A and B are shown apart, each in its own frame.
Chain A
């Protein structure tokens, strides 16, 4: 056991593993780029539609459906489904099937939390905004989205952690990222490399979790807790 730990430490200490396209910095950078890109695209697709539907008091059944769907699909299955689609579309291996799979995963939590957050905004507040003469767009951007932001960020956190963890599977379809260490390690029966890759993914996922938790706390403090801390005095 101590032999194995020593090997892992040696792996991380080896300068070879920190340089070139298969070095840790490049693999982490690929992993982060792919995750951020997937989150940005998923947000751009899911949030506007969810905000609009919730603002119009529409789409509750759609939300339930999409949440159940998301729970039913295993990450591995998503990649397996994405691969033939991108190949048929002539987009090939690697980047596109990975991105497509991550979008499938990220959109449901973003969509359902945004919808729930907007739907949960106090109707009296929305009515006051309309009664003051705000346009629909102003009500959405100026009142509903800021007030729903803490719940929307919960959805973003769930989505981002899932995306970071699942981007690992991109290595199965010949994309890079931290999954390379795991897949290549299994192929060459190099369990130290497998473990090092797993450790890096775990650290990145936890870092993502912490980053979004921090953002949630900042937003909650901005909008809510100042009142709470003062009102308890």
Chain B
């Protein structure tokens, strides 16, 4: 089945009034249904500008943007925005409205009746895992993590096919951010939205992105591909620098253990063999960590309590050079 992308940017440029340089330069991107594309780059790389051109908070200077097959410029702007979920870093919840009223924003704008909105809020409460008791509260009474979940629930309220997220987890502490990132991926595995996710954090971009667009100053696209592709074959020095000096380690974190490539192990449990052991579901990064903190050569891989093989340092090296 050939499908056309849910979001297409075709040769889009933006130059702000009074500026001599383009903020975004001849950018072409696609985002498929069910795919998270992360836009990442240094300050001034136009990633937020690019995001805002999709829901027309900023109008492009040239080029076309289509969402679900229609040019965004041909749809009345507020109708367009009601079909696109939008989450921003400061969350932007309405402080004078309760959590329930905040979540109901777009359904109310679309004129849904009260019963329909009520049942939708019930679904969303379960979906984003917020406690039902906070529905009557005001946003400033919530923790940062709760606010962020409410922000996501509000963006998803009218079940838009497209979600735009502008550094959504930038304002919460690292522990909560980790939870929220996991929840987003879990949510996406059930909802299959087309998501554009802006971040300045390359680790976050690698973690949540199915594909990553690395932008340079002036909105120049340096490379667009899966995290594995970028880490294995950075297109140029800028991309390599941006990915960081621990590129190989980052790649390992994306690679699962391949049971068919394991060295055979003696029957029995890891404890029998006095070896460090890891679970079969671990990544190669975890395997490497277990090796270097153990005997430095190999580590047993176990499913339940039974060893299914051994990972060696040579095997990890072979996987990286494939």
Contact = CB atoms under 8 A, between A and B. Distances in A.
Given A132-B105, A133-B81, A134-B109, A231 B93 contact: no
Given A127-B57, A227-B138, A227-B141, A133 B92 contact: no
Contact of B140 (A127, A147, A222, A231): A231
A131 B80 CA distance: 10
A146 B96 contact: yes
B79 to A, nearest CB: 7
A222 B57 CA distance: 31
Interface in B33-83: 55, 57, 78-83
Contacts of A224: 95, 140
A130 B93 CA distance: 12
A29 interface: no
Interface string B102-114: 0001100100000
Nearest to B80: A133
Interface in A94-146: 122, 124-125, 127-135, 138, 143, 146
A176 B137 CA distance: 50
A124 B92 contact: yes
A133 B94 contact: no
B88 A124 contact: yes
B88 A132 contact: no
A223 interface: yes
14 contacts: A122-B90, A122-B95, A124-B89, A125-B95, A127-B92, A130-B81, A132-B81, A132-B86, A132-B154, A133-B78, A133-B106, A143-B96, A146-B96, A226-B138
A147 B138 CA distance: 13
A56 interface: no
A124 B90 contact: yes
Contact of A131 (B79, B88, B96): B88
Contact of B96 (A138, A223, A230): A223
A128 B95 contact: no
Given A143-B94, A227-B140, A133 B88 contact: no
Contacts of A134: 78, 105, 109
What's the dominant secondary structure at chain A's contact region?
helix
Interface in A196-233: 222-224, 226-227, 230-231
A140 to B, nearest CB: 13
Interface residues of B, number: 28
Interface of A: 122, 124-125, 127-135, 138, 143, 146-147, 222-224, 226-227, 230-231
Contact of A135 (B78, B89, B91, B154): B78
Contacts of B90: 122, 124
Given A133-B106, A227-B138, 7 more contacts: A127-B92, A131-B86, A132-B106, A222-B96, A223-B95, A224-B95, A227-B140
Pick the most buried of B55, B88, B90, B94: most chain A CB atoms within 10 A of its CB.
B94
A128 B140 contact: no
A135 B93 CA distance: 17
A230 B140 CA distance: 10
B57 A131 contact: yes
Contact of B92 (A125, A226, A227): A125
Contacts of A125: 92-95
A230 B86 contact: no
Contacts of A138: 109
Contact of B88 (A127, A147, A227): A127
A147 B96 contact: yes
Contacts of B141: 226-227, 230-231
A226 B137 CA distance: 9
Which 4 residue pairs spanning A and B have beta carbons closest together?
A128-B92, A133-B81, A133-B82, A124-B90
Contacts of B96: 143, 146-147, 222-223
A162 B180 CA distance: 53
Contacts of B80: 133
A131 B81 contact: yes
Interface string B274-313: 0000000000000000000000000000000000000000
Contacts of A146: 96
Interface in B190-221: none
A137 B90 CA distance: 23
